Structure 1
Amino acid sequence: MTGFSVGAIGVRTEDVVRRLREGMTGGVLSFPLTSFREDGGLDLDSYRTYLTAQLATAPGAVFPACGTGEFSALDEDEYRAVIEATVEIAGGRLPVVAGVGYGWAQAVRFARIAEEAGADAALVLPHYLVEAPEDGLVEQLRRIAAGTRLPLIAYQRGPVAFTPDGVRRIAEIPTVIGLKDGHSDLDRLQRLTLAAPDGFLFFNGAATAEIQARAYATVGVPAYSSAVHAFAPEIANAFFTALRDGDDATTTRLLRDFYVPLVELRDRVPGYAVSLVKAAARLRGLPVGPVRAPLTDPAPDDLTELEKVLDAGLALVGAGRRPA
């Protein structure tokens, strides 16, 4: 890519960091589902309907085509359509951070598509299959950054884990603006936050992040992604508000009576972190369709239990099964 300067990149990056920081303090980070038809095809019209309703609930930022959005199940044309629709519906009201991934060469292809579609930044999902030393993890980010003007957020989870020295090194890459953590090793995470330069962004990216939100906040990482927002923004927003305002009674009640039962159900089957979320959205009449293979929709008994957990959570915040 040509026609841009380091100075121009710096101004753009600073603006995205500012907007993300403002969004993180005002709402949860939304990771929307991607809508598919029963035959497995992308249902873009349904996605637009679904996302419009999601963004009406005032999340702090929107992360399309990431883990919850089944990034790995999308081809490049579908990915472009999802990012374009998200940018259009967001309309500049909040940052759009698109998922990119696989090896660095393929991640650059997706990043360039996201950039052309108007995304504000990219979340670099863990690379595919291989284990790698930290030098390679840093070089991966350098190569992605060299191929796109988009600011980048690294996601450490699975085979990706940085040391304090690694965080210092990736923070020296001009367009790497933050780190999303999915390991939940708070001792290690505290060391990473202390090693990072001022202004570097950190996000709680644990599965069902609300379970660990209190603990993450104690090491200086209050911002988190919310899969629950994808199907029950009323619950996600009530939890965010209670946590922000120090309402321990409400926070504890939501954790005990909704989030913990949800996580216990989620942990029964690999892939339920996404397929349960999608099933819960369908239970609420949201047009998201099924998951794509290799994920599978919940078994009937698990779906019955999910209904009970969902209804209990909605009752806690005074909401009904059908979204308002």
Structure 2
Amino acid sequence: MNFDGVLFFPVTPFTPEGTVDVGILKEHITSRLPHGPGGVFPACGTGEFHALSIDEVRTVVTAAVQAVAGQVPVVAGAGGPLGHALACARVAEEAGADALLVLPPYLVTGPTDGLVAYIEAVAAASSLPVIVYHRGNAKYTAASMARLAANPKVIGFKDGLGDVGLAQEIVSAINTSGRTDFLLFNGLLTAELTQGAYRGLGIPLYSSAAFAMAPEIAKAYYDAYISGDEDRRHALLDGFYAPLVRLRDQTPGFGVSLIKAGLRLGGLPVGPVRAPLVDPTEEQLVQLKSILAKGYELAGR
């Protein structure tokens, strides 16, 4: 599986009644496809996986597959309680997804052997390949990732922990395993801010929540990153991404809330976030609007 372009993590739009808005979701996805995403990741972190029922996961992934129509890979979220994760794997396969991103298990912290068993159980629940998400209570070691890399259904590793020493050990272990098809992702919040460092670790791919909100800005960063235009990349980091991160860090959960707010500012009625997340205040919306304006200016829009 190849991801050639920005990795797009769409939000999950909700109607005023609180249900998934399939029409807006499809519009959200199709409007971003001309900007060249390398893959679409519905019902994942930016899509509020934590707040979706299994029926809603089915609805979201089905809509995403229909909207993408085979243009790029679709990778669906699966995780939480083991039974829910297995159900997510099955409905994603039924919906036509190409792979799974396995988010952390619910609440409990198990030993490494238990985490490996969790990934293997999700991988066995469908025919879809899986990407391991290293984050929160799902902390993998280099040895455990080498074990998982021996399973051909495990095709990738996404680091959302931020321990660069451990990430380097894991990259080295996977490289030593002989896998040449293994995908390595930077999955930290607002990953553009750290991607220069992650490229140095041998992790070339990254999640982009910003692409969901402002694809022109995210694509300008990606193009500068790929072409080696460091002056432009740093201008976007200093003028857009760093201020966005400072705003994001004001309130827990704003890694999702600000993206939805930015979409609403742009005229797409994606609705609010679900509890326990909260939407920005009016003052924070003013700040976000200013940050976006600067980003568009730097992107040349």
TM-score (norm 2): 0.96
Distance in 2, Cα, partners of 1:158 & 1:72: 13
Query: What is the DSSP-based 3-state SS (H/G/I as helix, E as strand, rest coil) of the residue aligned with 2:100?
Result: strand
Secondary structure class of the residue paired with 1:154: strand
Deviation at 1:174, TM superposition (A): 2.8
CA deviation profile, 1:131-179 (whole Å, cap 9, x unmatched)? 1110110011111122111100010111111111011111122311111
Quick one: distance in 1 between partners of 2:280 and 2:167? 33
Partner of 2:264: 282
Conserved? CA contact 1:105–1:144, under 8 Å: no
Q: Secondary structure at the match of 2:189?
A: coil
Residue aligned with 1:92, SS: coil
Paired with 1:138 and 1:210, the residues of 2 have a C-alpha distance of: 29
Give 1:183 deviation, angstroms: 1.2
Q: Which segments of structure 1 move beyond 6 Å, counting only runs of 4 or more?
A: none
After TM superposition, give the deviation of residue 301 of structure 1 in Å. 1.1
Match for residue 68 of structure 1?
A: 46
2:226 is matched with 244
**Whole-angstrom CA distance in 2 between matches of 1:232 and 1:100:** 26
Match of 1:79 among 47, 57, 71: 57
Taking the aligned partners of 1:207 and 1:170, their CA distance within structure 2 comes to 25
Counterpart of 1:50 in 2: which secondary structure? helix
Q: In structure 2, what is the Cα distance between the partners aligned to 1:187 and 1:76?
A: 36
For the residue of structure 1 that corresponds to 2:194, the secondary structure is: helix
1:227 aligns with 2:209: yes
Give the superposition deviation at 1:82: 1.2
1:271 aligns with 2:222: no
Structure 2 alignment gaps of length 5 or more = none
Equivalent residue, structure 2, for 1:261: 243
**1:202-217 mapped onto 2 (5 Å cutoff):** 202-217=184-199
The CA deviation at 1:39 is 2.7
- C-alpha deviations, 1:200-244, integer Å up to 9, x for none? 211000100000010000011111010100010000000011011
What letter is aligned with 2:294? A
2:101 is matched with which residue: 113, 123, 126?
A: 123
Q: What is the distance in 1 between the residues matched to 2:66 and 2:85?
A: 23
Is the 8 Å Cα contact of residues 145 and 173 (structure 1) preserved in structure 2? no
Matches of 1:137 and 1:85, distance apart in 2: 30
The yes-or-no answer on 1:34 pairing with 2:16 is no
1:84-233 aligned at under 5 Å gives the runs 84-196=62-174, 197=177, 198-199=179-180, 200-233=182-215
Establish whether residue 308 from structure 1 lines up as the match of residue 286 from structure 2.
Answer: no
Once residues 281 and 250 of structure 1 are traced to their aligned partners in structure 2, the CA distance between those partners, rounded to angstroms, is: 24
Match of 1:52 among 30, 33, 41: 30
Secondary structure of the residue aligned to 1:56 is helix
CA distance in structure 2 between the aligned counterparts of 1:162 and 1:80, rounded to whole angstroms: 28
How many residue pairs align between the two structures? 297
How far apart, CA to CA, are the structure 2 residues paired with 1:111 and 1:53? 27
What is the aligned-residue identity percentage? 49
Structure 1 residues without counterparts, runs of 5 or longer = 1-16, 320-324
Residue 94 of structure 1 deviates from its aligned partner by: 0.5
